[in-house]
């Protein structure tokens, strides 16, 4: 149901959404001050650093190579410009952006829900369900925005892309249902292009949701509206095609290279998404009332994409999981914000409360990042289901010059952190479809780390990749120990 206009001011003053959203933004500010680190943060900071040094020719964000990268987006370009103008470090600029991105996400969610329902409580319930109704096992993954993941991913491009997607979905019905005004259609086209460039995986969700909103409006729209919508679609495609940093078409062709890393998205999905099952009944009455309900169409199309990915081995399509959950979570918020039949009230409401309580118990742990660091002992972290304690590598910034190549150990954290402080690694920590010699780099990196490798061969590889520093691999360094980090990490000169 379209949102009613002219909402009384008294209703606005009582709107609990403002209080909840305000609390979440304040929480985001506190978390940005504490800076909890996660795996992908390093590559986003490295991307901003590369662009800060050279907007025209940034090269690969992780390794010493002149290749394009899909991480170069309007978002990271904007952050790089801010970093250059203010002199702030890319890591700092990213953390400052985090609360702003959370605000965009919350504004987008409210706007989208209000295009579907005028019930005052629906947006508030939507925030609660979107953050809590996931599963009993947590994961940090771009685009999977739960309460547990939010402190870690709030500055990620995927989070901004999701917020912009919700704004796109909110604007599309208003534009289609109103008089044909070309600037509005072209604005939606530009917004769609930005989403695709900021996070291509989220663009799939955005497209599925846009189709779900357009299909029910096929009948009754004047030809001029479809002409304007078609033009906006072409505009979005042209803008994406004109982006100078990388090719969207080339990324699509290379998407098969990303399937292996996404296989875990299909690992025991009931553990990661099972609590959302309580939201599935909300889709049934919506389908009964309207066979072309947008949330039902979004759920069905996203679930089909996920199923195709699982059946064909194209596991990268598992990035549509958030769209599956989001459609059900929003449907539940709308249905429970209105009258609920007594027969359902006795079962559905308690089940929803229990599911949210379970989600809160499992996911609230990362909010403890606001607590003093001495209180976050290993026992507390385990009991609270907190994310891993990320080692501190900020001290590297005092020694690394921009572009210095660092040989890192076989360590999950080091290879993902070094690029954030201006260094480059021999091989990328993440799959890179635009890096042609990635497999060779992986083999050479393994050889350099291997104590059994002939020293002459190791030295030749160090020279080949312009390695200047060796981190925590003492046998690979011919040079002296330069520095020791706060947690015992050791930095050697390569020669």
Q: Could you tell me the two tokens for 339? A: 């009258």
What span, in angstroms and rounded, lies between the C-alpha atoms of 484 and 487?
8
Are 36 and 98 in contact, with CB atoms under 8 Å apart? no
pLDDT above 90 (res 340): no
Q: In the predicted model, what is the mean pLDDT of the chain?
A: 93
Given a cut of 60, is residue 435 above it in pLDDT? yes
> Span 304-320, mean pLDDT?
96
Please give the structure tokens belonging to residue 329. Answer: 């979570």
Tell me, what's the pLDDT at 221?
A: 86
Q: Quick one: pLDDT band at residue 465, thresholds 50, 70, 90?
A: very high
Cβ pair 449, 475 in contact under 8 A: no
**Tokens 């050791």 correspond to what residue?**
490
Per-residue pLDDT band for 3 (boundaries 50, 70, 90) equals very low
The pLDDT score that the predictor gives to residue 11 is: 45
Question: Which stretch of 38-42, 213-217, 450-454, 477-481 has the lowest confidence by average pLDDT?
Answer: 477-481
What the block records as the tokens of 310 is 């699982």
Residues 6+ apart with CB under 8 A from 483: 395, 398, 399, 490, 491
**Residue 333: closest CA among 111, 103, 124, 132:** 124
> What values do phi and psi take at 370, rounded to 5?
-75, -15
Residue 353 CB burial class (10 angstroms; 0-12, 13-18, ≥19): exposed
Looking at residue 138, the DSSP 8-state letter turns out to be: -
Q: What is the CA radius of gyration of the chain?
A: 24
Phi-psi region of 139 (alpha: psi -120 to 50; beta: other; left: phi over 0): beta
Predicted pLDDT of residue 476: 79
Q: Specify the 3-state DSSP secondary structure of 491.
A: strand
**pLDDT at residue number 344:** 73
The whole-angstrom separation of Cα 287 and Cα 279 is: 14
Burial class (CB in 10 A: 0-12, 13-18, 19+), 8: exposed
CB of 313 within 8 A of CB of 365? no
Distance, CA of 246 to CA of 69 (rounded, Å): 6
Measured CA to CA, the distance from residue 138 to residue 274 in angstroms comes to: 11
Instruction: Report the range of poorest mean pLDDT among 150-164, 337-351, 387-401, 434-448.
Output: 337-351
**pLDDT digit string (tens) for 26-52?**
999 999 999 999 989 999 999 999 999
* pLDDT score recorded for residue 342: 75
Q: How confident is the model at residue 257 (pLDDT cuts 50, 70, 90)?
A: confident
> How confident is the model at residue 201, as a pLDDT?
95
Q: Taken in order 281, 292, 125, 96, is the CA torsion positive or negative?
A: positive
Least confident of 11-15, 152-156, 174-178: 11-15
Tens of pLDDT along 52-84? 999 999 999 999 999 999 999 999 999 999 999
Q: How much is the pLDDT for 343?
A: 67
Following DSSP, what letter does each residue of 92-122 receive, concatenated?
Answer: HHHHHHHHHHHHHHHHHHHHHHHHH---TTH
Give CA–CA dist 167/165, Å, rounded.
5
Average pLDDT over residues 410-419: 93
175-209 per-residue burial string, b: 16 or more CB within 10 A, e: under 16:
bbeeebeeebbebbbebbbbbbbbbbbbbbbbbbb
Q: Locate all alpha helices (DSSP H) within 54-199, ordered by sequence.
A: 74-86, 90-116, 122-132, 150-153, 157-177, 182-198
Give the residue-averaged pLDDT of 420-441. Answer: 94
Per-range mean pLDDT, top range of 11-15, 220-224, 352-356, 385-389: 352-356
pLDDT of 1 > 80? The answer is no
Question: Does position 6 have pLDDT exceeding 60, yes or no?
Answer: no
Q: Do 282 and 129 meet the contact criterion of CB atoms below 8 Å apart?
A: no
Which one, of 377, 336, 321, lies nearest residue 162 by Cα? 321
The pLDDT-based confidence of 447 (bands split at 50, 70, 90) is: very high
47-66 b/e (C-beta count within 10 Å ≥ 16 → b) = bbbbbbbeeeebbbbbbbbe
């Amino acid at each position: 149901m379209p949102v009613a206009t002219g909402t009384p001011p008294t209703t606005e003053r009582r709107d609990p959404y403002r209080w909840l959203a305000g609390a979440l933004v304040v929480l985001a500010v506190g978390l940005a001050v504490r800076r909890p680190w996660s795996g992908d943060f390093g590559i986003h900071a490295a991307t901003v650093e590369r662009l800060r040094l050279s907007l025209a020719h940034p090269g690969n964000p992780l390794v010493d190579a002149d290749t394009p990268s899909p991480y170069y987006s309007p978002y990271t370009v904007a952050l790089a410009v801010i970093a250059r103008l203010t002199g702030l470090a890319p890591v700092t600029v990213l953390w400052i952006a985090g609360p702003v991105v959370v605000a965009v996400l919350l504004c987008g969610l409210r706007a989208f829900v209000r295009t579907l329902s005028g019930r005052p409580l629906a947006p508030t319930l939507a925030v609660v369900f979107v953050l809590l109704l996931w599963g009993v096992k947590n994961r940090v993954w771009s685009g999977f925005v739960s309460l547990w993941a939010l402190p870690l991913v709030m500055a990620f491009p995927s989070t901004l892309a999701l917020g912009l997607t919700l704004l796109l979905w909110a604007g599309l019905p208003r534009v289609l249902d109103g008089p044909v005004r070309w600037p509005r259609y072209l604005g939606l086209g530009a917004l769609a292009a930005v989403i695709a460039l900021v996070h291509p995986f989220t663009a799939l969700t955005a497209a599925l949701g846009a189709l779900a909103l357009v299909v029910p409006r096929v009948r009754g729209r004047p030809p001029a509206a479809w002409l304007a919508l078609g033009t906006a679609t072409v505009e979005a495609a042209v803008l994406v095609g004109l982006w100078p940093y990388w090719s969207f078409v080339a990324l699509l062709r290379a998407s098969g290279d990303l399937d292996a890393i996404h296989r875990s998205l299909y690992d025991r999905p009931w553990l990661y998404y099972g609590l959302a099952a309580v939201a599935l009944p909300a889709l049934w009455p919506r389908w009964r009332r309207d066979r072309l309900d947008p949330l039902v169409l979004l759920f069905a199309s996203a679930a089909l994409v996920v199923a195709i990915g699982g059946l064909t081995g194209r596991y990268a399509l598992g990035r549509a999981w958030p769209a599956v959950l989001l459609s059900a979570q929003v449907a539940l918020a709308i249905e429970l914000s209105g009258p609920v039949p007594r027969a359902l009230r006795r079962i559905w409401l308690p089940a929803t409360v229990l599911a949210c309580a379970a989600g809160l118990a499992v996911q609230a742990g990362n909010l403890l990042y606001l607590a003093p660091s001495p209180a976050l002992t290993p026992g507390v972290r385990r009991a609270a289901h907190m994310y891993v304690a990320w080692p501190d590598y900020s001290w590297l910034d005092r020694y690394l010059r921009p572009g210095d190549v660092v040989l890192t150990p076989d360590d999950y954290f080091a290879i993902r952190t070094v690029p954030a402080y201006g260094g480059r690694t021999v091989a990328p920590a993440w799959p890179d479809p635009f890096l042609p010699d990635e497999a060779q780099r992986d083999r050479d990196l393994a050889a350099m780390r291997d104590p059994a490798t002939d020293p002459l061969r190791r030295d030749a590889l160090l020279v080949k990749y312009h390695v200047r520093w060796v981190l925590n691999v003492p046998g690979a360094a011919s040079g002296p120990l330069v520095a020791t980090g706060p947690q015992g990490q050791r930095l050697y000169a390569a020669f």
